[in-house]
Amino acid sequence: MFSATKFTPTPRKIRREKTVVSSSSSDIDKDPVYVFCRLRPLQENVDSHSCMTLLSPQEICISNESKGIRRDVFYKFKHIFTAYASQTEIFDHIGYPLLTDLLKGKNGLLFAYGVTGSGKTYTLTGDHNNPGLIPMCIDTLFNSIGDLQTPKFIIKSDRMNGFEIQTEEDASMDRLAENRSKNMGNVKKLNREKFFINNGKMIPVFNENNAFAVFISYIEIYNNNVYDLLDESNNGKTLQNKILREDPNCNMYVNGVVEVEVKTAQEAFELFIIGQKRKKMAYTSLNSESSRSHSVFNIRIAQLEKLPVNADGKPIIPEKNLLTVSQLRVVDLAGSERSSRTQNTGARLREASAINNSLMNLRTCLEVLRENQRTKTNKVVPYRDSRLTYLFKNYFEGDGSVQMIVCVNPSVNDLEENLHVMKFAEMTQGVKVLKSEPRCIPISTSKKVISKRNGTPAKINKKTLFSLTPEIPMFKFDFNQRDECKSSIDNLLGVLKHLKSESSTSELDKINKELRKRLVDIDNHRVLDKAENRNLKQLLQREQTKNANFETKINQIETKYGNLSEKYKESQEIIRSLHNTVNEKDLKLNQHLLEKEHIKQKHALANEKKDQELQDKLKKQRGHFTAEIFAKEIKLKKAREALDSEVIVNPENIRESENIPPLSTPKKPSSSDCYKRNGGYTPRRRSKSCDEVWLEHNSIKPVPLGTVLQPSMKKRKSVTKLTKASDVTNPKQSKYCLLAQEQDTDGEIETKLYKGDILPTTGGGAQVIFNDVERLRQQSPTSNGK
């Protein structure tokens, strides 16, 4: 239990860098770490089905299905609270026993552990209409002690884990200074939010002759630094980092922490709400108000025997008294989380790393403790690796009971995290701590001892003044009266003869024994300190040797690093020059490829243009052929009608009626232009009449082929575009020739001449009837083409 006063310190043990727990104590003198479990209700439309099944109030089953194989894991707890458990039920099982031990003078430590968003903060804090464990503990505590409280500032905290006992005059001066500062507005106005608690529970006080003083403190451990949430010295600025220290009784405390004495539950609620608003909270993907630090709410009670009152009703501090100090610490651990689920970055990621490291160190300490207890070994417990474990190391060494409530979200989405939490809870239950007993500290004081020094109450001394001689009475010597002076001298001699009395001798022997004992203890400590110093010197020499070796290695490594840096620079230059060469070659290749691609695109565009022109020409020719066929069908129809009417009609009359010019009698071709076949004459394909006039239609500029054979038309009229009807209806023109060029299948240019006759129509126009196509192309004599 934490000591309560700043008395003369008793001889203390040698401080070790890391604390170990002896395994020699019997298990009868130990209590296990009680672990409770609370299940959070599943959220609608967010959480999936539950992966947990409650078998009994002490046992739960977790079902894990992987690759079609179902595995059930069973875990046992001190008690399991279902999703329908109320805050009052949790207080009855956990808070009420802790408060009972607190009033008995025993210390208590309660952890709330779980993943982010599992309900730890709600279990400890709750809300205004449904308060949690901490508000209910405060309300029950003040319901129990009632009027059994000391006047304010009679017991005063020295902010170094100790207390001072003040006289009524000093306490009244402190109360007056507090009221004056409140009236002047120097004290920040407290928040007036309230918790609505109607349980009305009380704990019977075991010793009604004691008076109680309740002190509240609130700290947080953020990024492995300790901050005081009730510190008003910075005027709302950034909180200052506090350091951890050991008091003379080897108990850990936060140096300079603010401990506020409260007399009502409402005052404690206001301080608790102020600390809650100063905690580090942030939004994460798993929890909109996630705690980013470990918070520790501390309730400290100092019990003092009731002070007698004088005639004025003011308490009188006796010369001897007993002071009992106990405290209850409730720790809201930050939730363990994985960055793969929270997607934290930046400051949130650094906070999560610090949280996970501290929780991992807590688990390591508990594992070492359990191994020491099971195997009867004495391994070093690494409390100092984290502020969290270093602050509570006294509890694991038997300075109070340790309990834990594990909050779990039974959703199957949190299955993996829940398995880790359950394994940690199972391991924690295997740790046992020594049973703690209340310790009363004797106080001896006197009104003369309590004084004012520079405005600060003096500390109470443990020992009163002591005299080695009995009290000598006062003698009055009157040398004018010899008889009276002689009798006074005789009386003084008689008193001096009895200086060495039995009482003084026994008291002197007692003091000599105590002094000898202290000297022996001091000598033992001196020997131990000397041995420890010798060991430390040896360690220092080893470390110095290691440092010298490391420095030599560092110099060698730096030399190698310099050489490698030079080689690296040279290789970088070579690589850079090679990259430049490769880039130049790539640039040339790209330019060549671009030119080729550009030429291909030009040829493709030219071919597309030619194809389009040919298609347009073919469409026009199809139109002409269709018109000619239609005209012939009309003539045939009329001829059939004439035949059907069996009327002989003169062809000349038909021509006259249709305004068709008479057909000229064809001349007999000459022997040079004709050849006889089947008893008649057939004109040659390339024969030309001297009277024929050709209409040469060149829609494109022909490309000269360089061949011997060339188109030959003596009488011709060349046009590039038929813009006027007179170009075709000219009676002097009887032949039509359309000139076109295209590539054949072998890629060679081929010239085509589409030849036809120009015939007049009945409407006074003219039509072209195509009757021949001439092709002119070059061909290799060795090719296989026909």
CA-wise closest residue to 302 among 208, 174, 210, 166: 210
Predicted pLDDT at 137: 93
Please give the helix or strand (H or E) that residue 615 lies within, else none: helix 502-645
Q: Are 95 and 81 in contact (CB under 8 A)?
A: no
Task: Give dist(CA 242, CA 217) in Å, integer.
Answer: 13
- Domain shared by 421 and 513, yes or no: no
Predicted pLDDT at 14: 33
Strands 716-719 and 432-434: unpaired
Task: Give dist(CA 771, CA 710) in Å, integer.
Answer: 20
DSSP string computed for 26-51? -GGGEEE-EEEEEEPPPPTTTS--B-
- Domain shared by 432 and 504, yes or no: no
Task: Give dist(CA 371, CA 76) in Å, integer.
Answer: 20
Task: Give dist(CA 420, CA 113) in Å, integer.
Answer: 12
- Domain shared by 359 and 397, yes or no: yes
DSSP string computed for 677-738? ETTEEEE-TT---TT--EEEEESS-PPP---S-----SSEEEESS--STHHHH-TT--EEEE
CA-wise closest residue to 768 among 666, 621, 618: 621
Residue 453, domain member (yes or no): no
- Domain shared by 298 and 383, yes or no: yes
- Domain shared by 150 and 234, yes or no: yes
Q: CA 392 from chain center: how many Å? A: 27
Predicted pLDDT at 110: 94
Task: Give dist(CA 640, CA 627) in Å, integer.
Answer: 20
The CA angle 131-137-141, to the nearest 5 degrees, is 135
Residue 483, domain member (yes or no): no
DSSP string computed for 488-528? HHHHHHHHHHTSS-HHHHHHHHHHHHHHHHHHHHHHHHHHH
Task: Give dist(CA 335, CA 355) in Å, integer.
Answer: 8
Predicted pLDDT at 147: 83
Q: Is 115 annotated as a binding residue?
A: yes
Task: Give dist(CA 464, CA 446) in Å, integer.
Answer: 8
Predicted pLDDT at 666: 42
Task: Give dist(CA 786, CA 780) in Å, integer.
Answer: 11
Residue 484, domain member (yes or no): no
Q: Number of folded domains in the chain? A: 3
Residue 739 burial by Cβ neighbours in a 10 Å radius (0-12, 13-18, 19+): middle
Residue 489, domain member (yes or no): no
Q: CA 286 from chain center: how many Å? A: 10
Position 608, amino acid: E
Q: Is 121 annotated as a binding residue?
A: yes
The CA angle 166-302-220, to the nearest 5 degrees, is 110
Task: Give dist(CA 475, CA 238) in Å, integer.
Answer: 68
Backbone angles phi, psi at 643, to 5 degrees: -65, -40
Please give the helix or strand (H or E) that residue 571 lies within, else none: helix 502-645
CA-wise closest residue to 33 among 401, 296, 381: 401
Question: Bridge-partner residues for 53, per DSSP?
Answer: 61
DSSP string computed for 307-350? PPB-TTS-B---SEEEEEEEEEEEEEPPPB--HHHH---THHHH
Residue 495, domain member (yes or no): no
Half-sphere exposure of 710 (CA within 13 A, CB side): 10
Predicted pLDDT at 124: 92
Q: Are 394 and 264 in contact (CB under 8 A)?
A: no
CA-wise closest residue to 134 among 246, 18, 272, 42: 272
pLDDT in tens, 197-221: 766 788 887 777 788 999 999 999 9
Residue 17, domain member (yes or no): no
> Which positions of the chain have pLDDT values less than 70?
1-28, 44-48, 67, 182-196, 198-199, 234-237, 281-290, 306-322, 337-348, 438-486, 488, 492, 494-505, 646-691, 783-786
CA-wise closest residue to 15 among 246, 310, 354, 226: 246
- Domain shared by 327 and 245, yes or no: yes
Q: Is 729 annotated as a binding residue?
A: no
Q: Is 116 annotated as a binding residue?
A: yes
Predicted pLDDT at 184: 59
Largest CA distance in the chain: 209
Please identify, among 444, 471, 486, the residue that sits at the C-terminal boundary of a domain: 444
- Domain shared by 385 and 529, yes or no: no
Predicted pLDDT at 78: 92
Q: Are 548 and 554 in contact (CB under 8 A)?
A: no
Q: Is 117 annotated as a binding residue?
A: yes
- Domain shared by 202 and 310, yes or no: yes
Residue 279, domain member (yes or no): yes
Q: Is 375 annotated as a binding residue?
A: no
DSSP 8-state symbol, 462: S
Q: Is 530 annotated as a binding residue?
A: no
CATH number, domain at 323? 3.40.850.10
Please identify, among 444, 470, 490, the residue that sits at the C-terminal boundary of a domain: 444
- Domain shared by 610 and 565, yes or no: no
Predicted pLDDT at 576: 92
What residue numbers bound the domain in which 531 lies?
500-595
Predicted pLDDT at 660: 42
CATH number, domain at 766? 2.60.40.4330
- Domain shared by 617 and 587, yes or no: no
Residue 526, domain member (yes or no): yes
Q: Which two tokens stand for residue 117?
A: 């968003």
Contacts of 445 (CB under 8 A, 6+ apart): 165, 317, 318, 319, 320, 321, 460, 461
- Domain shared by 583 and 619, yes or no: no
Please identify, among 595, 616, 634, the residue that sits at the C-terminal boundary of a domain: 595
Tell me the CA distances in angstroms from 605 to 67, 601, 609, 615, 702, one per residue in order.
Answer: 62, 6, 6, 15, 18
- Domain shared by 410 and 545, yes or no: no
